[in-house]
Each structure stands twice: as structure tokens, then as C-alpha cells.
Amino acid sequence: MSAARKARRSKMTNALFKKRQSRTRHQIRTKSDRPRLSVFRSGKHIYAQVIDDRQAVTLAAASSAEKDAGIAKGYNVEAAGQVGKLIAERAKAKGVTQVVFDRGGYIYHGRVKALADAAREAGLDF
């Protein structure tokens, strides 16, 4: 594959991802009064935030990159599950029990699903 073709393909893939992401966030913001549990997945880590869109404030945050979280590897399903438990505990400490899950354009599979399942088991309702 030529370099120019790779660049075009990368631009197209990124544009489709951004389209999925904005479509999901638009539906969440217009149809719900609950805070949003937003997920960001990188190659090495996974991050989660509980965001109140009405006041534009982050209520709680957790990631596999935190030193005190005790997560050895941040890029596997087990780490995502631990981040899900951690974000649920922090959200409940702030008084948030009901959220809307924002998968951020990612497919609901693997690490994203593990984070969501762990957050549900730890007491978040979505």
C-alpha cells in the first residue's frame, strides 16, 4: 500500500470514528438528564470520567494510568474491569448512582464492555 493511500485511509477511518462519536454524544445529551460516564481507550490505558454536561463539570475520574490504582498492565480486560470498579466507587462517593454510558464511538466489546460491566456490578445504574 502506498503512503498516500495509507494517509487517505487513515483520514477516512478517523472521520468515521468522529462521526460515530458525535452521533452517540448528541443522542445522550438531548435525551438524558443524568451525568455521562465517558470512556476513552488508548493503546496502553483506559480512562473513564463521570461528566455533568449541564454544568460542564467532571464529577469523578479514574484510569489505568494512575499510580495508586494498583493496576499492573493498563491495556487488558482485567485492568478495564478494575477501572470500572474504581470509577463507580468514586462516583458513588460524590452521590452519583445513575449515569448514561458514553462509549465514545468505540464498539461495545472487550475493554469497553468490561469497564461497563464492572461499573454496573459496583453499583452504578445505566
For the segment 10-35, what is each residue's pLDDT rounded down to a tens digit? 888 889 999 999 998 888 887 788 99
* Overall domain count for the chain: 1
Q: Is residue 58 part of a domain?
A: yes
Could you identify the residue written with the cell 500500500? 1
Q: How far apart are CA 103 and CA 87, in angstroms?
A: 15
For residue 28, the enclosing domain spans 3-121
pTM: 0.85
Q: Is residue 93 part of a domain?
A: yes
The pLDDT value recorded for residue 68 is: 82
Q: How far apart are CA 100 and CA 102, in angstroms?
A: 6
**36: domain CATH number?**
3.30.420.100
Average pLDDT of every residue of the chain: 91
Region 92-107 average pLDDT: 94
Give the side-chain half-sphere CA count within 13 A for 45. Answer: 12
Q: Is residue 42 part of a domain?
A: yes
